[in-house]
Amino acid sequence: MDFTVAADEVAGVLPRPWRPMIGAEHLSHLLSTDTTGGRPIGAELASALAAARDQFGVRAVRAHGILCDELGVYREVDGSPVYDFTGVDRVYVRLLALDLRPVVELSFRPRDLASAPDTTVFEYGAIVSPPKDWNRWTDLIRAFVTHLVDHYGAGEVRTWNFEVWNEANLDVFWSGTPVEFWRLYER
């Protein structure tokens, strides 16, 4: 991958998408009916996100794991990829109902697509290895983004920020090489 910098040109103001943003560990927790301290986890998270929106002007939520297995986005049946974005839709519909937008972090790796499925981080086993098949990874991301545009509309999705992976500069979040990480941008 090559970059050219035209230092004699002014490209404009650098967007700062992080300013109206908050981080949350896992947006799938919005769907949880489990309780902690006697309170439903999903309702508690929704309440906290609404408070961040109202009190601090938060407009977007960045969270890990939208491609993790718990939402059932990707699996292989008889060696063929199967996509199912209904879990993601349930999460995003709940977030949008709070008048918040997702920051779509394209992570972590679905087990059936991981080159090293046992290379994980966090209690929930987020897989941090490169894909075992780069073409299938590209196809998944293409299908996912196409689904988002088809389901929510191009105008809506254009208001969302996307992030390729999570903090790959930290070994705990990326077990591959830097060159393998950069491949995520080439496809």
Give strand pairing partners of 121. 126
Number of residues in the chain? 187
**Catalytic one among 123, 167, 180, 186?**
167
Alpha carbons 156 and 187: distance in angstroms, whole number: 24
**Cα–Cα nearest to 65, from 136, 149, 123, 150:** 123
In the residue annotation, 167 being an active-site residue is answered as yes
Cβ(166)–Cβ(68) below 8 Å = no
Write out 168-181 in H/E/C secondary structure. CCCHHHCCCCHHHH
Cβ(129)–Cβ(116) below 8 Å = yes
Q: Which residues are catalytic?
A: 167
